[in-house]
Structure 1
């Protein structure tokens, strides 16, 4: 029984740390992706203004 409890504690500890690692890196990747998409939109808008695109 003690071995089972020890394995359970090791399992929970390992996946608790893994979960934080995955979530932290997911949000970091999502932030960079969002920044890249926003930069693309700003570039396209400035390009349209610079080339005289009629928005109406």
Structure 2
């Protein structure tokens, strides 16, 4: 019984660290993706303003 509890604790500890690692990496990827989309939209706006696009 003691061995089973020890294996359970090792298993939970391992997945706790993996979850933190995956969550941290996914937030980094998501933030870079959002920054990229923001800069694409900013580039498109500046391009339209520079070429004289009529917004109205």
Alpha-carbon RMSD across the aligned residues, in angstroms, is: 0.3
Query: In 2, distance between residues paired with 1:41 and 1:3?
Result: 57
Cα deviation for residue 32 of structure 1 reads: 0.2
Unaligned ranges ≥5, structure 2: none
TM, length-normalised to structure 1 = 0.99
The reply to whether residue 28 of structure 1 matches residue 43 of structure 2 is: no
Q: Which runs of 5+ in 1 are unaligned?
A: none
TM-score where L is the length of structure 2: 0.99
The Cα shift of 1:30 comes to: 0.3
Name the count of aligned residue pairs: 56
Q: Which residue of 1 aligns with 2:45?
A: 45
Show structure 1 runs of 4+ deviating over 4 A: none
Q: How far is 1:4 from its partner?
A: 0.5
